[in-house]
Chain A
Amino acid sequence: MLIFECPYCGVHAEETEFSPGGEAHLKRFGPGSDDTDFERYLFMRENPKGVHFERWRHVNGCGKWFNAARCTMTLEVFGTYGAQTFEPPQDLKDKITAKRPGWSWRDFS
């Protein structure tokens, strides 16, 4: 059971109040883009054992999308942050580093 804090309404709730939206920070490559980029955008996903970044929606609540960092092994949630960001906030990355030294995920570490 995951417990998230919605960054928009501040509710601290368990995962049945939310719905998962797949991997966070995907950049869209649409028509006209390079084949490799398009393929990566469509199909290539991270499947880490450990630190992971995902999109979640507070579906039975304020309705907003947000991003969350969690550990796929222990289900520990490191933190949540707004969806209008290209990368996790520095304080969250520092927090993860303190708990999982040497972590990396795509371009983040």
Chain B
Amino acid sequence: MLDPLTGIEAMHFDGYVTVSQTDPLGMITVRGNFASKPFANALKKAIGIDFPGLRQITLADTSMVAWMSPDELLILSTWEDKTNLMDAIQKALGKKHALVVDVSDARRTFTLAGPNVREVIAKLAPVDITPGVFEPGEIRRTRFGQVAAAFWLVSQEEAKVICFRSVGDYMFKQLKAAATPGSELDIWN
């Protein structure tokens, strides 16, 4: 499909792992003092999902909440839901000291799918992604090649990678290179 924001064809590559640009997601950054009960309760009520633990990502029907740092959460939703969600959060937090920003336009998301999905990530990010060490439920902020990124495993054969929109092209190209047929390492398969 065409990217609704740029009007260009979504990026897709069928390698030994499939790399595809996903439909744009709604992404809202919330920063504040999560140790404060009134703040945390108000936010929880607005998003309707429990907060993730350290480096965790919690999944609900159409939205997710990711732990980004001790004072930052990333709330992911569908593109259509984000405006309502943003309003709900801002209303719930009222005058409480917080930062709530819609960062959806700043990001690009890729889906990696295939039995060797861990391997493609391991080629690009300095992360121990051995089965048992890194499992679905955890989100990892790191770098892919030269650029900052975050990823999580949806299942043993599917991962999501998010990065800044400005480096989306670079990200796609390096994921494509890492997933090129013939470059399999078969470490975990």
On A, residues with C-beta under 8 Å from B are 8-14, 16-17, 59-64
Contact = CB atoms under 8 A, between A and B. Distances in A.
Nearest to A64: B69
B142 A17 contact: yes
A98 B66 CA distance: 40
B69 A60 contact: no
A16 B124 CA distance: 12
Given A9-B70, A62-B69, A63-B69, 14 more contacts: A8-B69, A9-B69, A11-B55, A13-B126, A17-B142, A60-B148, A61-B141, A61-B142, A62-B68, A62-B70, A62-B72, A63-B72, A64-B69, A64-B70
B54 interface: yes
Nearest to A15: B126
A13 B142 contact: yes
A62 B72 CA distance: 9
A60 B141 contact: yes
B177 interface: no
Contact of A8 (B70, B126, B143): B70
A62 B126 contact: no
15 contacts: A9-B55, A10-B54, A10-B55, A11-B55, A12-B128, A13-B126, A16-B143, A17-B126, A59-B148, A60-B141, A60-B143, A61-B141, A62-B68, A62-B69, A63-B72
Which 9 pairs between the two chains have the least Cβ-Cβ distance?
A62-B69, A60-B143, A61-B141, A60-B148, A14-B126, A8-B70, A60-B142, A63-B69, A16-B126
Interface in B81-128: 126-128
B31 to A, nearest CB: 11
Contacts of A61: 141-142
Contacts of B143: 16-17, 60
Contacts of B141: 9, 60-62
Contacts of B70: 8-9, 62, 64
Contacts of A17: 126, 142-143
B92 to A, nearest CB: 25
Contacts of B55: 9-11
A16 B69 CA distance: 19
A63 B143 CA distance: 12
B2 to A, nearest CB: 31
A47 B68 CA distance: 35
A59 B146 CA distance: 12
A13 B127 contact: yes
Contacts of B69: 8-9, 62-64
